[in-house]
C-alpha cells in the first residue's frame, strides 16, 4: 500500500485530534479510526465515521429510552435472537463510512451491492495515479472447468511469469498513452507546449481495469453484514474477499456482540432447502441414501454432503 507523506501526515493529524462528544462511541473502533488498513498491493480500507454500537441494536429492538440492560450477557442473547431470526431493522440503526482504495475491476463487482451510499474518485476532474494491481503468482490460476466464474489450478511458475509480464507491460503502456492523451508528465506539466491534451473524461477510457480507484462507501450494519456474508465467503473472488476480511475485523472492533452472532448464525451456518431437510430427516431415521435415491440434483446433493462434512 502506497501512501504519500502528505496522506500519512493527514491521517496522523486526524488520529491525534480529540473531540468531546455525548454520542455513544465504540472503543475498539476508535482505536483504528482513520487508519489505512492495507489490502492487496496498493489498496486500503479506512473507517472514516460511524454511528451506533451493540447497545444501539438492543435499544432499537426494545425501543427503550435508555441504553437497555446493563448485562452484556443479556444483550448478547437478544442480538443472537435477532440475528438467528433474521430481524433487520435493529441492525440498520448502526452505520459506518469507509474510505476504500481498490482496483477498478473489484469496484465494478462491489458496486453490484446497491444498498450503500457511494462517492467515487472522478477521473473526469482528476488524473488517476500510476498504480495498478498485479496479483501474486500464487493467485494466478486457470479457468475452472466446473465453475464458469471461478478459478482452477494455479499456473506453473513459467506461465505465471509470462502472465505477470503481460499484465505489467499492458498497464505501463496504457498509462504512458494516458499521459500522452492528456499531454502531461508525471509532475503534471505539459509534455508538448504546442499540443492540446484530450479531455480527462475521454483520456481515461484506455486504462485497464487493474488500475486503482477510490471511494467513500457508507452503509448500515444490516446491509454491511449481507455484503460480508457474500464476499467473505470462501467461494468469493480472492481480490474482493481480502477487502471483506479486513472489513470483518472492523466490524469485530465496532460491534463485537453483533459480530459474534454473525459468525455463529450466518458465516458459520448453512441453510437447508425443504428438500434437503427432508433428505436429512430420512438419513437420521436410518435410511441409506445416495444422490440417485435422494431426489436431489447432483449439485444439491454435493452441497448437502459438504455441509454435513461427508464430501463424496
Domain ranges in the chain?
A: 5-126+210-267, 137-206, 274-307
Q: What is the pLDDT of residue 65?
A: 61
pLDDT in tens, the chain (312 residues): 667 788 888 888 888 888 888 888 999 999 999 999 999 999 999 999 999 999 999 999 988 666 555 566 789 999 999 999 999 999 999 999 999 999 999 999 999 999 999 999 999 999 999 999 999 999 999 987 877 777 888 999 999 999 999 999 999 999 999 999 999 998 888 888 888 899 999 999 999 999 999 999 999 999 999 999 999 998 899 999 999 999 999 999 999 999 999 999 999 899 999 999 999 999 999 999 999 999 999 999 999 999 998 865
141 DSSP assignment: E
Cell 491521517 identifies what position?
Answer: 11
Cell 441409506 identifies what position?
Answer: 288
Distances (CA, A) of 105 to 111, 202, 210, 211, 312: 10, 19, 6, 8, 35
Is 148 a residue of the active site?
Answer: no
233 DSSP assignment: S
Distances (CA, A) of 232 to 24, 121, 189, 239: 28, 25, 43, 11
Of 192, 40, 207, 46, nearest to 127 by C-alpha is 207
Q: What is the pLDDT of residue 312?
A: 54
- Strands of the chain, DSSP E: 37-39, 43-51, 95-103, 117-120, 141-143, 151-154, 212-220
Distances (CA, A) of 50 to 29, 222, 250: 9, 14, 11
DSSP-based three-state secondary structure for 152: strand
The fold for domain 5-126+210-267 equals: Gyrase A; domain 2 (3.30.1360)
Q: What is the pLDDT of residue 144?
A: 79
Q: Give the active site residue among 46, 200, 204, 231.
A: 231
Q: What is the pLDDT of residue 20?
A: 85
DSSP-based three-state secondary structure for 11: helix
DSSP-based three-state secondary structure for 143: strand
Quick: pLDDT tens for 115-170: 999 999 999 999 999 999 999 999 999 987 877 777 888 999 999 999 999 999 99
Of 117, 116, 96, 86, nearest to 33 by C-alpha is 96
Amino acid at each position: 500500500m502506497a501512501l504519500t507523506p502528505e496522506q500519512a501526515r493527514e491521517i496522523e493529524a486526524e488520529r491525534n485530534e480529540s473531540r468531546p462528544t455525548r454520542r455513544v462511541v465504540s472503543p475498539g473502533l476508535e482505536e483504528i479510526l482513520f487508519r489505512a488498513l492495507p489490502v492487496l498491493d496498493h489498496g486500503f480500507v479506512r473507517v472514516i465515521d460511524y454511528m451506533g454500537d451493540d447497545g444501539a441494536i438492543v435499544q432499537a429492538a426494545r425501543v427503550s429510552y435508555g441504553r437497555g440492560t446493563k448485562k452484556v450477557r443479556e444483550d448478547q442473547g437478544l442480538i443472537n435472537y435477532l440475528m438467528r431470526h433474521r430481524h433487520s431493522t435493529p441492525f440498520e440503526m448502526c452505520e459506518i463510512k469507509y474510505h476504500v482504495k481498490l482496483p477498478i475491476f473489484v469496484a465494478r463487482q462491489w458496486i453490484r451491492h446497491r444498498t450503500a451510499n457511494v462517492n467515487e474518485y472522478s477521473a473526469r476532474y482528476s488524473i488517476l495515479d500510476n498504480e495498478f494491481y498485479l496479483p501474486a503468482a500464487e493467485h494466478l490460476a486457470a479457468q475452472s472447468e466446473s465453475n464458469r466464474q471461478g478459478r482452477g489450478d494455479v499456473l506453473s511458475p513459467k506461465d505465471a511469469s509470462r502472465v505477470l509480464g503481460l499484465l505489467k507491460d499492458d498497464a505501463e503502456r496504457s498509462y504512458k498513452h494516458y499521459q500522452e492523451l492528456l499531454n502531461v508528465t508525471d509532475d503534471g506539466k505539459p509534455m508538448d507546449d504546442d499540443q492540446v491534451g484530450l479531455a480527462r473524461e475521454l483520456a481515461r477510457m484506455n486504462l485497464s481495469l487493474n488500475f486503482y480507484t477510490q471511494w467513500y462507501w457508507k452503509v448500515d450494519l444490516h446491509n454491511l453484514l449481507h455484503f460480508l456474508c457474500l464476499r467473505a465467503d470462501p467461494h468469493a473472488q480472492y481480490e474482493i474477499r481480502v477487502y471483506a476480511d479486513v472489513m470483518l475485523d472492523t466490524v469485530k472492533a465496532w460491534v463485537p456482540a453483533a459480530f459474534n452472532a454473525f459468525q455463529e448464525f450466518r458465516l458459520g451456518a448453512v441453510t437447508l432447502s425443504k428438500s434437503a431437510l427432508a433428505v436429512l430427516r430420512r438419513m437420521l431415521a436410518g435410511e441409506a441414501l445416495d444422490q440417485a435415491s435422494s431426489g436431489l440434483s447432483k449439485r444439491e446433493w454435493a452441497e448437502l454432503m459438504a455441509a454435513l462434512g461427508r464430501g463424496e
